């Protein structure tokens, strides 16, 4: 049986999807964008500030679900400009300083609300 995860500490879904779904001790977190859940607005600044907010949103969903960053096994990063990879990576790395998960990163044409970065995550217990 799957469990739908919802927390007001991360942005609500802006379409027909759940923030996260847990099934068989695996948590699938939908792509998170740099929206501040308190204001409902995209954070100002560059890719570093946006990545920081994305990671805060992922952390909030993990915590709501009873998972931790160390439970993350795979992340997929979507960037609108691969030239931002190093800056994104610098912020991302602070959250996974020990035993980081597997990861893919792609440059895409456009992301929701014209953000620079979106990250989806899978965690397991």
Where are the domains positioned within the chain?
A: 3-124
Length of the chain: 125
Please state the rounded mean pLDDT for residues 93-110.
96
Query: What integer pLDDT is reported at residue 52 of this predicted model?
Result: 98
Residue 86 to residue 113: CA distance in whole angstroms: 22
**How many CB atoms are located within 10 Å of the residue 38 CB?**
9
Does the model's pTM come out above 0.95?
Answer: yes
Dihedral (Cα; 97, 98, 101, 106), 10-degree rounding = 20
**CATH T-level fold of 3-124:** 60s Ribosomal Protein L30; Chain: A; (3.30.1330)
Query: pLDDT band at residue 109, thresholds of 50, 70 and 90?
Result: very high
Share of the chain above pLDDT 90, in %: 96
10-49 pLDDT, tens digit per residue, is 999 888 999 999 999 999 999 999 999 999 999 999 999 9
Instruction: Calculate the average pLDDT of the chain.
Output: 97
Share of the chain above pLDDT 70, in %: 100
């Amino acid at each position: 049986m799957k469990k739908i995860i919802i927390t007001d500490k991360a942005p609500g879904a802006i379409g027909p999807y759940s923030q996260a779904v847990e099934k068989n001790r695996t948590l699938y977190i939908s792509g998170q964008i740099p929206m501040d859940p308190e204001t409902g607005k995209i954070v100002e600044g560059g890719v570093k500030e946006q990545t920081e907010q994305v990671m805060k949103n992922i952390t909030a969903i993990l915590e709501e679900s009873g998972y931790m960053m160390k439970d993350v096994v795979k992340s997929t990063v979507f960037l609108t400009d691969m030239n931002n990879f190093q800056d994104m990576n610098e912020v991302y790395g602070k959250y996974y300083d020990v035993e980081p998960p597997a990861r893919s990163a792609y440059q895409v044409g456009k992301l929701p609300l014209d953000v620079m970065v979106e990250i989806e995550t899978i965690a397991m217990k």
